[in-house]
Chain A
């Protein structure tokens, strides 16, 4: 187990290193670093000063080391727009994004698993076919398009829910969140549903496929032959087997939620780090863009690592194979 974790840690470190190389060389070799890292409004003297300060006159290898040092200490430079350190800015926007992602993950589980279970257990019913058709749509429709339709329907036509912003937040159990206020919840619902849509579809598909496959397995038939009630066969024998892949995939999808929150946050003007990225991209606030990309890569790597380890803890077969190795 320890050897496994160490191996995965090394692999994760390698990925972060590679991404830092790509982002760094992307900014410094393909793009023009002066253009990328210095405010477009700067005058000649300031440009010269910054070039020296950033060490852009030094060899590329040395520059990279400097960049790495900055990354290691959390120094990505200052935002051109806000004049604050990029990292601080991103951390400030992070809670809103994490809140949005967590709530939509919850929605995906609470809606996706029951729907997928139904579609898998009763494949020939009309409702099941409707669920499947819905999940195909949920997969193929772009997130922003669905967001647009949600706004049109719920905010413009029906006028039930607000379409922009985060609403009021309150502090409960030491956590500041919009979950604790009515206004906050009403603001949270549409963006969270929008962000969850792909994952609801994904969970429906995974659950249904899992059920369809497991239903024909001998162990399900054997469980029935033991005289167990149908509810126990489904909730214990079936669910425990299909939950493992679903949990794994959902865990991996959490990173995807953070990435796709870029789209949802932009549509619903949700003040998270995804909207910050798009605003920064549009306003050419490059230190923030670079910092965001490095942080999200780090996120991904950590999530993958955690899911891998969790997976090996959850599935006794994987756990044992590794002990044997």
Chain B
């Protein structure tokens, strides 16, 4: 059953220097309990996509086009009041930097209880108990004590666990995780992924995991969408995208990740710099960094999907060229 269907979403930022098309026609859909990896470099629009779903895009940005059907209701046209009722209860979000997410001057219990009381009429005591259980479920030892702490008394990994606990407090249908492991140590990254994955499985929660790191989502996601310059350039089942990448950009991304089964091989890199969103080249946005660039690429390629559901936006699809 599809719980979220995003269609041709466009979120633009109207800055003094010009219009930044941060998200420029993104479509994907997500079934109940499914995990999607949304992959891309910084500035590719993946985080803005996440914030657009929750209606939390800060001015001068706004959603200008498209629809986002959540259980069949369009989040784009939904009144602010109703979106707010969904936030934190049906759709929750985990942010990138746990050091910045929790309010530094409020205790953990305050920040957890208010998340429950914003959506349900329960007693403070009941809410406190649920907060405590929530902390225990994300693997925080002695949760009663931790509840009385301020955020700065916890380590980064602990804080991210707290943020995850808050996200799952109201049993949401969908959790959007915006690079939740980027700011953490490698050893802790794996734990955080594990905690989030378990909670999703147990409760049948759908998950959008936003990251720049294909390796992280390879073992986590059911399917993957790769974004470049505000558009999805490749999407499909995780195995298809990881093992048989067809867009030159995805190929480049995979080639730049070290991995155990490619020992001894050279790491490749994508030439050029991340694109300036104010002056994208005409046609394919990846054109001037692509080795397959030719005359055709001056036109914008449409997205094409094969029978296996593997979609790409490119005139020069790569066949079986992935490093073995």
Contacts and interface: CB of A to CB of B under 8 A. Distances in A.
A223 interface: yes
Given A218-B97, A226-B87, A226-B118, A241 B58 contact: no
A322 interface: no
A221 B152 CA distance: 18
Contact of A227 (B58, B84, B102): B84
Nearest to B87: A227
15 contacts: A222-B95, A222-B102, A224-B87, A225-B56, A225-B93, A226-B114, A227-B87, A236-B114, A240-B103, A240-B105, A240-B106, A244-B105, A316-B150, A317-B152, A320-B152
Interface in B49-100: 51, 54, 56, 58, 84-89, 92-93, 95-97, 100
A244 B103 CA distance: 14
A222 B101 CA distance: 6
Interface in B111-151: 114-115, 118-119, 150
Interface string B264-281: 000000000000000000
Nearest to B105: A240
Contact of A316 (B84, B89, B96, B152): B152
A225 B54 contact: yes
A88 interface: no
B260 to A, nearest CB: 34
Shortest 4 CB-CB contacts between residues of A and residues of B: A227-B88, A227-B87, A218-B100, A226-B88
Nearest to A238: B103
Given A316-B152, A317-B104, A232 B118 contact: yes
B54 A316 contact: no
B137 to A, nearest CB: 17
Contact of B100 (A217, A227, A240, A317): A217
Nearest to A219: B103
Size category of the B interface is: 20 to 34
A223 B84 contact: no
Contacts of A240: 103, 105-106
B100 A228 contact: no
A227 B150 CA distance: 21
Contacts of B93: 222, 225
Contacts of B307: none
A221 B106 contact: no
A232 B88 CA distance: 14
A253 to B, nearest CB: 22
Interface residues of A, number: 23
A316 B151 CA distance: 10
B95 A218 contact: yes
B163 A241 contact: no
A229 interface: yes
Interface in A211-256: 216-219, 221-229, 232, 236-237, 240-241, 244
A81 to B, nearest CB: 52
A315 interface: yes
Interface string A273-306: 0000000000000000000000000000000000
B153 interface: yes
Interface in A164-191: none
B177 to A, nearest CB: 12
A227 B89 contact: yes
Contacts of A223: 103
Interface of A: 216-219, 221-229, 232, 236-237, 240-241, 244, 315-317, 320
A324 to B, nearest CB: 10
A236 B88 CA distance: 17
Interface in B231-276: none
A218 B101 contact: yes
A74 to B, nearest CB: 42
A241 B105 contact: yes
A289 to B, nearest CB: 44
Contacts of B84: 224, 227, 229
Nearest to A242: B105
A228 B153 CA distance: 24
Contacts of A224: 56, 84, 87
B56 A221 contact: yes
Nearest to B54: A225
A226 B166 contact: yes
Contacts of B118: 226-229, 232
Nearest to A321: B152
B115 A227 contact: yes
Nearest to A228: B118
Nearest to A232: B114
Interface string B147-168: 0001011000000000100100
A215 to B, nearest CB: 8
Contacts of B95: 218, 221-222, 225
A225 B93 CA distance: 6
A226 B115 contact: yes
B20 to A, nearest CB: 17
Contacts of A225: 54, 56, 87-88, 92-93, 95
A182 B222 CA distance: 75
A317 B99 CA distance: 13
Contacts of B166: 226
B102 A219 contact: yes
A219 B88 contact: no
Contacts of B102: 219, 222
Contacts of B100: 217-219
Contact of B153 (A226, A244, A320): A320
Nearest to B50: A225
A222 B100 CA distance: 9
A219 B101 contact: yes
Given A221-B58, A241-B103, 7 more contacts: A219-B102, A225-B54, A226-B115, A226-B118, A227-B87, A228-B115, A317-B104
